[in-house]
Structure 1
Amino acid sequence: MKVLFVPGNSPYPVYSHTPLATSLRNAGHQVFMGGIDWVLPKIAAMGLPPVKIAPLTVEEVASFVSSMPSDPEESARAVGGVYARIALDSLDTLTELAENWRPDIVVGGGMFYCAPLFAHRIGVPSVRLEWDRLDTRMYDPGSVEVLRPALEKEGLERVPDPDLWLDVCPPSLSDPSAPRTQPMQWMAANPQRPLEPWMYVKPDRPRIYVTAGTRLQETRVLREMADHVTGLGAEIVIGAPEDLVEPLSKEVPEARVGWFPLDVLAPTCDLIVHHGGGGTDMTALKSGVPQLVVDPEYPTRAVRVLDEYGAAITLIGEEASPEAVGRGVREILLDTSFRQRSRELASEMSQMPKPAEIVPLMEELAARGVG
Structure 2
Amino acid sequence: MKAIQPVLKSIGVGALALTLLTACSTEDENIPIDPDNSESTEQTDPVEGDEGESIVTIDPQEFGEAFTRGDFSEIYAQTSSDFKAAVDEAAFIELSTSYNENVTSFELLSTIPVQGLMEYLWIDQSGTKGIQTYFDADQAIAGLQLTPLSSFPETDEKLSETSFIVPTTETWFTFWGGRNVMVNYHYAVESQRYAYDWSIMQNGSSYAGDPAENESYFAFGKEVVAPAGGTVISVENGIQDNTPQVETNAEQPLGNHVILDHGNGEFSVLAHFKEGSVTVAEGDTVEQGDLLGLCGNSGNSSEPHIHFHVMDDADWMHASSIRVNFEGEIDPKRGDEVPAGKN
Q: What TM-score does the superposition give when structure 1 sets the normalisation length? A: 0.30
* Greater length-normalized contact order (CA 8 Å, ≥ 6 residues apart): 2
Between Structure 1 and Structure 2, which shows a larger proportion of helix residues?
1
Between Structure 1 and Structure 2, which shows a larger proportion of strand residues?
2
